[in-house]
Amino acid sequence: MEKLLILLVDDELDILAMLKMRLEANDFEVITAIDGLEALEKARNNKVALIILDLMLPKMDGYKVCRMLKFDERYRNIPVIILTARSQKIDKEMAEGVNADAYITKPFEPQELITKIQELLKNAHPVYRKITDDKEL
C-alpha cells in the first residue's frame, strides 16, 4: 500500500521536525516547506493528500496559500488543516473564509492532530477509508 503524502508547512523548525516524526510514525509520507511560496509550489507539484499549514509564514501567509489552493479547481479537494498560535475569533473566521477544513491552535495535543487528519482523509480518500475501516487506528 502506498503511503499518503502530507505537506507540512511551518517556519518553526522544531515543530516541523517533531510533527514530521509523529506523522511518519503514523504511516504517512511527509514533505515540508518553511514559507508560503515553497508550500504553494510543493502542493502544486506533488500528489498531496492533505496539508497542515501554519498561518504566520515568510513570503506568503497561510491564509493566502490556502485561498490560492482552495479556489483552484485542481487543488480544492485537498484537505487543509490550519495549525497556528493565532487563537482569536477573527483568525478562525478568516480561515473559514479561505475554506480551510480544520483549525487547531498551538499548543496542541499531537493525538488531536492525528485524529483530525484521519477524519479528513477518511472523508476525502475512499482508499484510505477502506484501509482504516479494516483495522483499528
Enter the pTM of the model.
0.90
Tell me the CATH number at 10. Answer: 3.40.50.2300
Q: Answer yes or no: is pLDDT of 134 > 60.
A: no
Question: What are 105-132's pLDDT values in tens digits?
Answer: 998 898 999 999 999 998 876 655 554 5
Total domain count for the chain? Answer: 1
User: Does residue 99 carry a pLDDT above 70?
Assistant: yes
Backbone angles phi, psi at 80, to 5 degrees: -120, 125
Give pLDDT, residue 136: 45
112: number of Cβ within 10 Å: 10
Residue 137, pLDDT above cutoff 60: no
Residue ranges making up the domain that contains 88: 5-134
Spatial CA neighbour of 36 closest among 63, 74, 17, 6:
63
Q: For residue 15, what is its C-alpha cell?
A: 515543530
Rg (CA), the chain: 14
Q: Which residues of 95-108 are buried (b: 16+ CB within 10 A; e: fewer)?
A: beebebbbbeeeee
Q: What is the mean pLDDT of the chain?
A: 90
Give pLDDT, residue 129. 53
C-alpha to C-alpha distance for 7 and 30, rounded to whole angstroms: 6
Burial class (CB in 10 A: 0-12, 13-18, 19+), 82: buried
